[in-house]
Structure 1
Amino acid sequence: MLDRFSSQADLYARYRIDYPAALYDWLLPQVPGRTRAWDCATGNGQVAAVLAEHFGQVEATDISAAQLAQAARQLNITYQQAPAEHTPFADASFDLVTVAQAVHWFDMAAFNAEVHRVLQPGGVVAEWGYGLLRISPALDPLVQHFHNDTMRPYWDDNRWHITDEYARLSFPFAEVQTARFEVRRQWSAEWFLNYLRTWSSVVKYQQQHGQDAVLLLSEEVMRRWGAGEREVVFPVFARAGRR
């Protein structure tokens, strides 16, 4: 797994969404134990922080030291740099494994093998992500064109697994459950534009051209957005299975 998010770690920590309480209300009753959880590709630790309220110990890993540096420290969370596919954890040592908005970057065969190794029998693995946000009829076509057309040469192929909600990514676990949620936020145009700067495609564009790709649409976004804040809606999809 390549590190695509270190260079924008500070923006990522501030402008990326967190996940709705309803997602955890759906997930946690499926988990048989509350001893240990592993949040894989934890980024700035937002999922790990929620899990820490429910588990005795949370292990949180990421390949990006810059992302981990942004994470809030808690006594029962241990952060360490490690790839998703190869971890230092003992066999059958977790009740739950979570991956938020990241599994599409993994070597899936190796990661699934690692999950089978570290989960206890009956333990649960949950993977979720979120698609392109919706704002308004005036703004959505502009954002869709930027995402699907302008940025297309700069997205890794893995990105399109988000579009089909991981349907092409193997999930060799039992008792599979799926669910959908929404995240709703009130954002200013400036906040939205900074969110776009967390996209891996925008970072790649900057690296290749030495320019900020968000400037290609910022003026038109500001014009259509108007003053004040608007509601933005992110569709969230999730799946969970049992070892």
Structure 2
Amino acid sequence: MNLFDSGSDYAAHRPSYPDELPALLAELPAHRTCALDVGCGTGQLTAKMGAYFDQVLGADPSESQVANATGPDNVRFEVGTASQLPAADNSVDLITVAQAVHWFPDLDAFYDEARRVAAPGAAIALISYGLCHLEGLNEMYQDFYWGDFHRHWEPERRHVENQLADITFPFERIGIESPDIVRDLTLEQFIGYLGTWSALKSPGAREEAEAFQAELARAWGDAQLRRRVTWPVTVLAGRI
């Protein structure tokens, strides 16, 4: 089973990217004819790119994710993998990978594909949002995340935790800084986000998460109280 088969939950509860980020990304390539978002999920970033490129393609290996993806008329979605990108040679001006590169089984194969589809003057950007900060209850949240529950995370999760510090990146770097993702969430909304974690696929993880959610609910106060949740965003960009 694909880790992210539940596309509807992902679409409903995963945070969207800062509005400033697509504009920053659009400055990277020489042209803005076509952008390709690899591992697009339900299109959290893909849809926003439509305002800056003539055409945008989102590709994801999960049929459920693609089925739940939405965007403007110039954005389309296809099932596709990082090692077999659904794009023609020399056709893409910007390749983005948002919160997905740590899942790629063969990073070198992806980079070879990126070089194949890249148009002259193309750029590439790997984007990741890290472990969030929960206003008022962050110590409780961090203790749960890094405590016994942490054993349920896949080894690849370390790339999210260390903000892509260990990811191989064989391209000329371009400096880019994105604002954080900031959302004010109710208890139900925050628990919905926790429910999208891939670690919940691990045996016993869901029961531990539910116990934490009950503890969190007691500490939250009024369930309709909105607490600020902040995810730091890292962008690793370069010229192809």
**How many angstroms does 1:34 deviate by?**
1.2
Aligned-residue identity in percent: 35
The residue that corresponds to 2:59 in the other structure is: 61
CA RMSD, Structure 1 to Structure 2 (Å) = 1.7
Residue matched to 2:2: 3
Any idea what the Cα deviations from partners look like across 1:104-162, whole Å, max 9, x if unmatched?
1112111111111111132011111111111235x212222222223322211001111
Q: Distance in 2 between matches of 1:156 and 1:60?
A: 25
Gaps of 5+ in 1: none
CA distance in 1, matches of 2:151, 2:235: 27
Give secondary structure in 2 for the equivalent of 1:60: strand
Asked if the contact 1:85–1:111 (Cα under 8 Å) also holds between the matched residues in 2, the reply is yes
The one-letter code matched in structure 1 to 2:179 is F
Q: In the TM superposition, what is the alpha-carbon distance from 1:186 to its structure 2 partner?
A: 1.0
In the TM superposition, residue 234 of structure 1 has moved relative to its aligned partner by 1.1
Size of the alignment, in residue pairs? 237
More divergent stretch after superposition (148-157 vs 38-47): 148-157
**In 1, Cα distance between equivalents of 2:97 and 2:205:** 32
**Corresponding residue of 1:94:** 92
CA separation in 2, counterparts of 1:24 and 1:211? 34
Q: 1:125 to 1:211 in 2, by over 3 A?
A: closer
Give distance in 1, aligned partners of 2:87 and 2:12.
30
Q: Give distance in 2, aligned partners of 1:237 and 1:118.
A: 24
Q: How does 1:124-135 map to 2 (within 5 A)?
A: 124-135=123-134
TM-score (norm: length of structure 2): 0.92
Counterpart residue number, 1:230 = 227
Point out the more displaced range, 166-175 or 208-217.
208-217
Contact 1:181–1:237 (Cα < 8 Å) also in 2: no
Q: 2:142 corresponds to which residue?
A: 144
> Aligned equivalents of 2:208 and 2:89: distance in 1?
45
Q: Please state how far the C-alpha of 1:75 moved relative to its aligned partner.
A: 2.6
11, 34, 45: which is aligned to 1:47?
45
Gaps of 5+ in 2: none
Residue type matched to 1:242 in 2?
R
